[in-house]
Structure 1
Amino acid sequence: MTWKSLPNRGETLRAVTAEADRRLDGVLPTDVEGVSDTFPDDLALLGALQLRWHARLSGRIERELLLHQPMDLEAAVVAAWRAAAADLPGTRAIIDRHRDHPTDEAMAAAVAKATAKEHAMLAVAAGLAGPQDAAAARIGARLESDARATYVVPQRVRAPRRRATFLDRLRSVLAA
């Protein structure tokens, strides 16, 4: 891996996320330009999307707990899960699809492990379990279920507008 591959990986992952949000079909968008050069297989791409989801969920939980200082931690965690799902609906759909229908044993094991860790994080953030509690994953699964009960899955998300680059702005000035 060279220093040039890191920005390319980030750009590719952003393009994959945007395409997933546009499609909302739960299918890994392996046809996005750069995916085959950046990710060796579907499991690597799914892992990158799970990491992005986990980071967004963690950030939403932190924001909910710090900014709103809720008295009901469970409700705050549920609200944070819904907000993260609204931010990344295509990514959430892909994770859900591969959790329900993994393509092979390696993917099933990876998704199960990531799901258990996510559930444990939800339970700990809600103050219902400690990080080492055996029941944390079960409690977190209940919190996710509560969040899903009131989450409205979007039908279609408009593709985000491409931000004008410096070169785009320079061209428009020169054209004027």
Structure 2
Amino acid sequence: MSWTSHHRRGEILRDVVAAIDERRDGLLPMDLPGVADTFTDELDLLAALQLRWHTRLSGRIEAELAKQPMDLEDAVVGAWHAAADDLPGLRAVLDHYYERPADDAMAVALAKSQAKERVTLAVMAGRGAYADAECVRIGSMIEARARAEYVPSVRTPERKPFAGLVDMLRSVRLAA
């Protein structure tokens, strides 16, 4: 993959995440411009979204553990909540396709991904080791707790950056 195509893929993926956060219908937006040209199929897009979720979740876990290292499981659950708040549409897409994969290949890929995520949850909560066969089950329990205790945050709409000096002056004038 060339540098240009790598950046184009990242740009399209950001557009996809924005669209699914807006739609929140749990469906992959294969109709967005550039998606069909950038991703080979639904599984390819879903894999990129799964990686985005895992990266966000891992970063949130690290941040939570830095803040409250004494109760590891609470930190992991809090991190799951924060990641779900950051990427609500993405979480809805993953949940939708976990329950209703488009085909067998997607079901297999998502099952592997989900098992790895659950192992990560268990290990980061201090409840097992990567080689421990029980980690998937323990991680599943931690995930179930995170889902049961999850209350989506109410977010205020993000302020759009000023397009220029005229927009900034206009907003200041309107505020006065």
TM-score by length of 1: 0.88
Letter in 1 for 2:54: H
1:98 corresponds to 2:105:
no
Number of residue pairs matched by the alignment: 168
Q: Deviations over 1:16-45 (max 9, x none)?
A: 001100011100011111101100100000
Q: Retained in 2: the 8 A contact 1:123–1:143?
A: yes
Structure 2 Cα separation of the partners of residues 160 and 134 of structure 1: 43
Cα deviation, residue 71, structure 1: 1.5
Q: Which residue of 2 aligns with 1:22?
A: 22
Structure 1 Cα separation of the partners of residues 91 and 111 of structure 2: 15
5+ residue gaps in structure 1? none
Structure 1 Cα separation of the partners of residues 37 and 58 of structure 2: 29
Q: Deviations over 1:146-174 (max 9, x none)?
A: 0000113579x78756556xxx548979x
Q: How does 1:131-170 map to 2 (within 5 A)?
A: 131-153=130-152, 163=161, 168-169=163-164
Structure 2 Cα separation of the partners of residues 94 and 154 of structure 1: 18
Q: Deviations over 1:39-92 (max 9, x none)?
A: 0100000000000000000000000001x1332111110110011011000001
Structure 2 Cα separation of the partners of residues 27 and 158 of structure 1: 24
Q: Pairwise CA RMSD of aligned residues?
A: 2.2
Structure 1 Cα separation of the partners of residues 153 and 37 of structure 2: 31
Structure 1 Cα separation of the partners of residues 5 and 157 of structure 2: 25
Q: How does 1:13-162 map to 2 (within 5 A)?
A: 13-66=13-66, 68-153=67-152
TM-score by length of 2: 0.88
Q: Retained in 2: the 8 A contact 1:27–1:94?
A: yes
Q: Retained in 2: the 8 A contact 1:22–1:159?
A: no
Structure 1 Cα separation of the partners of residues 39 and 107 of structure 2: 18
**Structure 2 SS opposite 1:132:** coil
* Residues 138, 59 of structure 1: alpha-carbon distance in 2 compared, 3 angstrom cutoff: same
Structure 2 Cα separation of the partners of residues 32 and 13 of structure 1: 10
Structure 1 Cα separation of the partners of residues 118 and 69 of structure 2: 20
Q: Retained in 2: the 8 A contact 1:26–1:94?
A: yes
Q: Retained in 2: the 8 A contact 1:78–1:146?
A: yes
Letter in 1 for 2:56: R
Q: Retained in 2: the 8 A contact 1:122–1:140?
A: yes
Structure 2 Cα separation of the partners of residues 154 and 17 of structure 1: 18
5+ residue gaps in structure 2? 169-176
* Identical-residue share of aligned pairs (%): 55
Structure 2 Cα separation of the partners of residues 77 and 172 of structure 1: 42
